[in-house]
Amino acid sequence: MAAGAPDSEAGVATGRSAPAWPRSAVRIGFGVIWAIDAQFKWRAGFRDEFKGIIQSAGQGQPSWLHWFFTFTNNVFASSPHAWAYVIASLETLIALALILGFARKITYIVTICMGLGIWAVAEGFGGPYTTGATDVGTACIYALVALALLVLSLEAGTSRYSVDRYLERRISWWHKVAELGARNHPANSN
């Protein structure tokens, strides 16, 4: 199809035409941000400071949240270096999956959970209850962007610039991993 032609059945049905690359550019750009974050997690300083990061997130929080921070401190204190490697690995996998467009539906859901987990545990829900708080944290925005990409994928269908597009053409059930909603036939997508 020509550049700017609709890249899903939805575009054909409504008569709207939009280039395919902006949606993919947002996904890929978001993946690059995750890759930069992951690179910081692989540094020795993150492993060395991980336990302190988790412990400091609960400081100054209201008493009704102390149970949560006590629980997370107990979970992560058992093996902070191992948890640091797990987090670095997850962030790296998220980055690669976003950049490549691999298992997009699953990737977006995992990214939402990871973003909310970082926001809750490491950022202490953004610390809005602490003295001097100026915002609600940044990781919740990561979850929101992933949610937006998930919802956009429902409308947009198969992404032209993704590994999923290739896999959906070769593996009949792959759309269940890659797409939200009904199957878009790859033959009808760009």
Residue 88: strand, helix, or coil: helix
Residue 171: strand, helix, or coil: coil
pLDDT in tens, 77-88: 889 999 999 999
Q: Closest Cα to residue 143, out of 119, 104, 114, 112? A: 112
Taking the C-alpha atoms of residue 97 and residue 30, their distance in angstroms, rounded to an integer, is 11
pLDDT of residue 182: 61
pLDDT over 90 at 144, yes or no: yes
Taking the C-alpha atoms of residue 128 and residue 174, their distance in angstroms, rounded to an integer, is 41
Q: Closest Cα to residue 1, out of 190, 186, 185, 168? A: 190
* E runs forming strands in 30-86: none
Structure confidence at residue 152 as a pLDDT band (50, 70, 90)? confident
Domain locations along the chain: 19-188
pLDDT of residue 137: 78
pLDDT in tens, 31-72: 999 999 999 999 999 999 999 999 888 887 888 888 999 999
CB 38 within 8 A of CB 25: no
CB 99 within 8 A of CB 35: yes
* Exposure of 85 in the CB half-sphere (CA atoms within 13 A): 3
CB 128 within 8 A of CB 57: no
pLDDT of residue 115: 95
What does the mean pLDDT of the chain come to? 84
How many CB atoms neighbour CB 127 within 10 A? 20
